[in-house]
Amino acid sequence: MKVAFLVAPEGVEQVELTDPWAAVAAAGGTPHLVSTRSGKIQAFNHLDRAEEFPVDVDLDTARTGDYGALVLPGGLANPDALRTDERAVAFVRSFFDAGKPVAAICHAPWSLIEADVVRGRTLTSWPSLRTDIRNAGGSWVDEEVKVCTGGPNTLVTSRNPDDLPAFCRAVVQEFGVS
């Protein structure tokens, strides 16, 4: 299964990209880096620059039909940039419209909120998004990982990098990666 990892050109929390990427690859899936621009993206370790990663495809070329699932890594700047890009918001929404599984960690649910796909769903996130999620019609829980199947697709969410082991296990299991 080919899995899209959607990130902005700058600001993704590196470990929230690399750990799920490695889990998908280890399970036999094919992770694919999608961004709003071609070239490379700049990851961060909190506020410090980390590694750069090559973009596989930009949003002008990426098609939902090419992927079996979507992962939205967090960081603070990454999802904030994505939620202001109409192409990114449409790409996120298209996975819900197609009934494909989606996973989001940390601040990444901002993109879900902007895509108007949290209404009636239960999810977790970085705690400061709690009110945003509730205002968008979702229910927020303080759990290591939350798998919500009460909608058109499966939604896997986690709060922060400390939750990555549980998040990665849930992503592999719920996506049926192979």
pLDDT digits (tens, 9 = 90+) for 128-160: 999 999 999 999 999 999 999 988 899 999 999
Query: Residue 176: what pLDDT?
Result: 94
For the chain, list residues with pLDDT below 50: none
Which of 168, 170, 160 has the alpha carbon at shortest distance from 13? 160
What one-letter code names the amino acid at 124?
T
DSSP 177: -
Put simply, whether the predicted model's pTM sits higher than 0.75 gets the answer yes
pLDDT digits (tens, 9 = 90+) for 24-36: 999 999 999 999 9
- Domain residue spans in the chain? 2-175
As a whole number of angstroms, the distance between CA 103 and CA 131 comes to 20
Domain 2-175 has CATH 3.50.50.60: no
Active site residues: 106
Residues paired with residue 44 on neighbouring β-strands, in sequence order:
13, 49
Query: Residue 151: what pLDDT?
Result: 84
Query: Residue 15: what pLDDT?
Result: 98
Query: Residue 166: what pLDDT?
Result: 98
Residues paired with residue 140 on neighbouring β-strands, in sequence order:
123
